[in-house]
Amino acid sequence: MSRLQHWKTKLKNIRGSCVIGLTGAPASGKSAVLEMFRAAGFFCVSADALAKEVLTEPECYNRILKKFGPEIVLKDGLPDTRGLSLEIFGDSSKRKWLEGLLHPEILKRIYSLIKKSHSKIAIVEVPLLFEAELGDCFTLTICVSAPLKARRARALKRGWSAAELARRESAQFAAERKAGLSDLAVMNDGQVRDLERKINVLSGFLKASVG
């Protein structure tokens, strides 16, 4: 059994917690929804945040440096995550290599954090949830959906060009497919109060269901 499959199995068989996977297309508002769930009292984990931690670990850092070269390193010695993203989203073989390096360690950390939390409900934001075949690792999956116009506006605020958003989207399942694969879909059309209301209603449902 590979390390990736090992941690998939561990996460799938976790006991004592309802583990919910949160996903969505690039710039759909996943992080905002995660913070709303956190404010509602749930234990929340971001796979992207953990990925940034893993990138700085010596073993991982050295392998990335060897693969991509010193130009991928910033002046402070840390990996240039923006440059790395541009590199991998433009080359599927490099992206798959990096995912193979990062995913097992990210899943290991997700599992460890949930076990230590002793929380009844854990929300885990995973952008590549279905692409990485993690759907059956979660009790429930939720997709944050948003109109393309709204996602383009959010991407622009992040400093992404239209081309960069397109590259990121091409490396993932289409937004409609993500929503179709999920158990629940939450529409984020740009109205924050409306989104907060939806998450509050969903949070109440989850708390009542899990007990």
* Helix runs in 90-134, H state only: 92-117
Task: For residue 4, tell me if it sits in a domain.
Answer: no
Task: For residue 8, tell me if it sits in a domain.
Answer: no
pLDDT, average across residues 122-127: 98
Task: For residue 66, tell me if it sits in a domain.
Answer: yes
- Per-residue pLDDT at 87: 82
Task: For residue 178, tell me if it sits in a domain.
Answer: yes
The string of pLDDT tens digits covering residues 127-162 is 999 999 999 999 999 999 999 999 999 999 999 888
Task: For residue 149, tell me if it sits in a domain.
Answer: yes
Task: For residue 12, tell me if it sits in a domain.
Answer: no
Would you give the distance in Å from CA 173 to the centre of its chain?
A: 13
| 183 band by pLDDT with thresholds 50, 70 and 90 | very high
Q: Report which of 209, 208, 206 is spatially closest to residue 42, judged by C-alpha positions.
A: 206
| 211 band by pLDDT with thresholds 50, 70 and 90 | low
Domain housing 171: 18-204
The string of pLDDT tens digits covering residues 13-22 is 999 899 999 9
The string of pLDDT tens digits covering residues 162-178 is 888 998 999 899 999 99
Task: For residue 6, tell me if it sits in a domain.
Answer: no
Helix (H, G, I), strand (E, B) or coil at 145: strand
Q: How many domains does the chain have?
A: 1
CATH number at residue 37: 3.40.50.300
Residues facing residue 19 across a β-bridge = 122
Return the ∠ at Cα 74 (arms to 69 and 78), rounded to 5°. 90
- Per-residue pLDDT at 210: 86
The string of pLDDT tens digits covering residues 31-82 is 999 999 999 999 999 999 999 999 889 999 899 889 988 888 776 777 778 7
Q: Report which of 162, 160, 126, 131 is spatially closest to residue 144, judged by C-alpha positions.
A: 126
pTM for this model (two decimals) = 0.92
Task: For residue 35, tell me if it sits in a domain.
Answer: yes
